[in-house]
Every structure is written in structure tokens, then in C-alpha cells.
Structure 1
Amino acid sequence: MADDESRPRFTLYYTPTSFYSHKVLMALYEKGELFTEKVVHLGKGEGVARWYMEINPAGQVPVLGDRGKLIPESEAIIDYIDREIANEPKLVPSPDSDLGKSVDKFRKLLKQTPVEVLTGGLMYNPEMAPGGTCSPTHKAERDEYFIQQEAKLTKMAEEEVDLKEAYLKKAAVVKARSQVVRDQSRVQAAIDAVHPVLDEVEDQLSRTKQGAEGENWLCGSGFTAADINLVVLLKRLTKLGLFSIYCSSNNRKSLWDYWERVQKRLPFIKITEVEKNYLKLLQK
């Protein structure tokens, strides 16, 4: 019993390179909460392994475990963490307050950004990002991956009868995603769709900056779930080679200053290190 009591309350099933995992990691780091890590190696197929599909039939990361309860989907996990952990900062203010309404607005706005199309599309078409390069071999390898993944999931649907529907649904997702990333017009539309979102963010940051005497974040003086969504998005845009399209010291200056500041925040440094260490491990 003593051993059980000494263990962290929460278990996080996640992938260190995952956009959605980064959001939950940052929330836990912001709260200063210890947790047990269960890395799901998506590249090794663990995301669709039976043991993980039993945890989350969608085959997606992250999932938060709390004393037998399993909570999937990053936004729902952040809400749960904020309710269950009293530590500051308060990531999800009351929806009845002006601050809560602003946080909710920007969480929803940033969630609309087509991150999966951007990520998959630029992995397939890296030449569409500044300085990117692409070769037919690279695309052929990606095509083969999609074919093999769809075939694997279809076969698992036949073998794991009780999870048949989940595997078939996942196979359909893979097929649809493969079609999207091959279509450069849809990838470009996703790139373009980020501009109006960041226009709203820039306007908001300009107003909060003017209204604050000290440090300010997206919705005011406190760092919230809206900031987590923005920070992780900016991190992903940087990784994809897109950041310079959207922001510079002369373009969306408030966002530029925000990005400079947030990279010095300890939770951001920690998620960056987690990702770097994992990528090093994969290269061995």
C-alpha cells in the first residue's frame, strides 16, 4: 500500500514528438505535477497495438490515466488536470468570467488550425516550406508507408474481432490522410488558413500588451490553456519550417516578442528537451 501511495497519481500515455502530447506535457509541467510516463512509440506501431487500442480505440495520443480512469483528447485532459490539480497557474478560468470567455475563444480558434494537414503535408511535400527539399524517393517511401499501414490495420480488424470497428476506422483515417497530403492545393490551403488565426492572435497580444504594466500573455497577465495552444502551435510551425512565413521582427511584432519570451519558460524548455532526447534515442 505504501508503494502505491508513493507513486504519482497520474500516468501519461504519450509520444514525445506528438503535437497533442506536447500540449498535455506543458500543462502538467506548468502545474508542477509529477506523473508516470508511458511512452507510446508510434513509429514502432504501438499506437495501433492491441494493448493501446484497448486504452484508446482511436489509436491516438495522449491519454491520461488517473486511478483507473482514462481520459483521451488533449483539450479534455487539460480541463481535467486543471480541475483536479489546485496548483497555480489556473489554466482554465471560469467560463462565467471575462477572462474565461477569452481563454475559451482562443482555445477554440487555435484548435481550428489544420495541424495534422500541415504536419503530414510538409512531411510529404517539404519543398513547400522555406528551404525545404523533396525527392521522388522520399514520396515513394511515404506512399509505401501509407499502403502498408492501411493493409496492416485492415488485417488487424480481421484478427482482433472485438476491436474490428476501431481498426477499420483507423484504416479509413490513414487512407483519407494519405489522399490529403498528396494534394498540394489542400496543403497550401492549410498553410494559408493559419494567417487569419494569427491575425486575431496578434491583435489580442497587442491589446493585452498595452493594458498590462508587467508581463502579459495571450489573454492577460496569467498563463492559461490558450497560451499552451498557441505555444505548441508556434513550436510546430517552427519545426515544419513555416514560422518565417507568419512572423518576424517586422511582421506580427507582438507575436514575435511573445515567442521570444515563451521559449525561456521552463515548461517549454522541458518539452523541447523531452523531444530532443527521444529523437536522439531513435537515431541510435
Structure 2
Amino acid sequence: MALTLYYNPASFFSQRARLAVEEKGVAYRSHIISHPSGEAIEPWYMRIQPKGTVPALKHGEIIKTDSKDIILYLDEITPDAPKFYPDSRIHGSDRVAYLTDLMQTISVEQISFGSLCYRQYTQDCKLPNRFDVKYAKQSFDAMGDKMRKLAEKHPDLRDSYMDKIKVHEGRDLTNKENFLVALKECDSIMEEIEEELAQKWNGKFDNFTDSDPWLCCDHFTIADIYLATLLHRFVLAGQVKRMWSDGKRPYLAAYYARVQQRKSFQRACGSANNLYLSVLLPKLKHQIRKAFPRLMGFSVFAASLGLAVYVQYKGYPSWWHNNLKLKF
């Protein structure tokens, strides 16, 4: 029975899950959820994922709704493959557990939104520059209002919507001080990971082979999934200079260069930082699907593919820039 992965290409936590699925090489169906269109809080999806977040993995009657749970479940259904979370018999397994938990403490959302709102703390940020604190708060308020209306319209989902509203309104992702604290804490964790890589690689920065170890073990583990997607998010958020460029943390730089050559990473994350392809195109497809539900056959797929090819080789039409409004 095939897996179905519900995700958004630009979502950090989706990238973790998708990288894990690609690493395992298992067959799966993709269902892209458009965040800007509010698809994650539509009733049909809330019945799959009551938290209204991505990713979610459906396998028959089994549903996993957290990226770490998805990664661990993939270990369960692929018993003959190397484990993302190796047992104690594997050398380095203790470091896998420790560094995974350590990276789990990084406030990725705080860093992402802070980088959107406070550009003076970024360099070469690839996030849309029309986003500011005022726009962010308006977007959050609008999302809260929409969820309240949906809660009234769908009584069976009321508890789920109210729980999500509580979480939604309990976060302050645009707070400058929280953002700076998150960056400082992340800086410290990256320093510890740099030391880990230095011990593993011992002066090697390129020309890696399959026999060279990864972060903790001889094979790619959950700790590598976490680190690879973190570094990729730092590129998007304009935090590369702070974390590893210009000779700072050369092992992190070498790690990111190495992981980009991995086929699974290319498939899962290759276009994730291109927000026109990972955000705007799914939004366009969702709007078409909502407006013309009977047209979501081959013609729409062909049009979307054609649009993606046009963007790749011809650039972005000017009207795209005027209509790119992101709501994370």
C-alpha cells in the first residue's frame, strides 16, 4: 500500500519528512498543501491532521502528523534498510540521539519570521522583501478570524480549530528580542556541531566518498536530516554569513556542499528555496482547483508544468512579483 505525503515544499518540517522518504526510496504519492491559500486549515485536511500543519503521512489507516514521528515510522516499515535512528549496537548512536534532540530545540519558525521582519540581521536573504511586522500581524489576525468562522461552520472540528487558534495566538514570531535570542542559541548549537564534524572528518573538506562518515555514523541518520534541512533554511533566511561563510565553521560549509550532491536532498529540497516554485505555483494550482474543480486533470497539470518550465528558462513575469503574498 503506497504512502501519501501531505506537505508544502517551502515548509521546513515538510522538508525533513520528504528528505526521509526520499532517503528510504519508498514509493509515495505527493499531495502539496498550499499555505498561502489556507489549505492546511480546510476541513478535509483538518480531518487528516487536526493540528492543521504539514507534513502528514498517511499509510492505509495509519496517520503520522509530526516530522520526527514520520521519520521513525519509516524505520519501522523498512526493517532491512539502515536506520535513521540506529540502536545502541551501532557506533555513534548515542550522538545521533543527543544531536537530534539538541537541534530539536532550535526555534526555526522564530528565526524564519525574524529574518523576514528584521532584514538588518540578514545577508542575501531570499525571503520576500515586502513582508514586515505590520503585514505579519495582519496575516496572523486574518488566519485567526478564518479559523473561528470555520469552527462555527464545522462543529465536528470545533475543538481542533480552537486548539489551533490557541497555539496560533500564543506565539509571537515577530518579536525582535525572541528572534535575537533564537539566533544566539542556534549559533551555540552550530558551534557544537562544527566540533562534532571536526572530530569525524579530521581536516577533510572535500572529495568525500561513500566510506566517509556523516554527522554521527557511517550512514545518513535522522541527525543528518535535521542538519541538512537546517542549513538549507539558513540559506533561505539569509543567515549563512552568521553560521558558516567566510571561513567561519568550515566543516559546516563542507557538510552543506556535500549534502547538496545527495540525490535524495536534490529531490526533496532542490527547489524549496525558490519561492515562486515552492509557494506561488502550489497557490496557483490550489486556486484553480477551488475555482474549477472539474478541470484538475491533465490539462491543469500540463499548464502548471509549462509555467514552471517558463519560469526556469525565461524568468518571472512582472505580475508575479506584484501578487506574491506569503502567509506562513
Instruction: Give matches, 1:72-87, under 5 Å.
Output: 72-86=65-79
Unaligned runs of 5+ in 2: 284-319, 324-328
Higher helix share: 1
Unaligned runs of 5+ in 1: 1-7
1:174 corresponding residue in structure 2: 168
SS across alignment from 2:202: helix
Q: 1:267, 1:185 → 2: CA distance?
A: 36
Q: 1:21, 1:134 → 2: CA distance?
A: 20
Q: 1:125, 1:20 → 2: CA distance?
A: 23
Q: 1:26, 1:204 → 2: CA distance?
A: 22
Q: Quick check: 1:203 aligned with 2:195? A: yes
Aligned-pair CA distance for 1:87: 5.4
The one-letter code of the counterpart of 1:99 is: G
Q: 2:269, 2:33 → 1: CA distance?
A: 18
Q: 2:203, 2:235 → 1: CA distance?
A: 29
Residue by residue over 1:176-214, the C-alpha shift from the partner in whole angstroms, topping out at 9 and shown as x without a partner, is: 23xx23321111111111011111111111111139994
Aligned-pair CA distance for 1:241: 0.1
Contact 1:95-1:104 within 8 A present in 2 as well: no
Aligned-pair CA distance for 1:102: 1.5
The one-letter code of the counterpart of 2:228 is: V
1:243 corresponding residue in structure 2: 240
Could you tell me the TM-score, scaled by structure 1's length? 0.88
Contact 1:125-1:134 within 8 A present in 2 as well: no
Pairing partner for 2:181 from 174, 189, 192: 189
Could you tell me the TM-score, scaled by structure 2's length? 0.77
Q: 1:42, 1:210 → 2: CA distance?
A: 42
Pairing partner for 1:118 from 90, 102, 111: 111
Aligned-pair CA distance for 1:134: 9.5
Instruction: Give matches, 1:52-91, under 5 Å.
Output: 52-86=45-79, 88-91=81-84
SS across alignment from 1:55: coil
Q: Identity of aligned pairs, percent?
A: 27
The one-letter code of the counterpart of 1:106 is: L
Aligned-pair CA distance for 1:163: 1.6
Contact 2:123-2:240 within 8 A present in 1 as well: no
Contact 2:34-2:279 within 8 A present in 1 as well: no
Instruction: Give matches, 1:205-284, under 5 Å.
Output: 205-210=197-202, 214-248=211-245, 250-275=247-272, 276=274, 277-279=277-279, 281=281, 282=283, 283=320
Instruction: State how many pairs are aligned.
Output: 275
User: Greater shift after overlay, 168-177 or 48-57?
Assistant: 168-177
Q: 2:124, 2:27 → 1: CA distance?
A: 39
Contact 2:113-2:174 within 8 A present in 1 as well: no
SS across alignment from 1:181: coil
1:50 corresponding residue in structure 2: 43
2:26 corresponding residue in structure 1: 33
Pairing partner for 2:95 from 96, 102, 110: 102
Q: 1:199, 1:137 → 2: CA distance?
A: 30
Aligned-pair CA distance for 1:141: 2.4
The one-letter code of the counterpart of 2:182 is: A
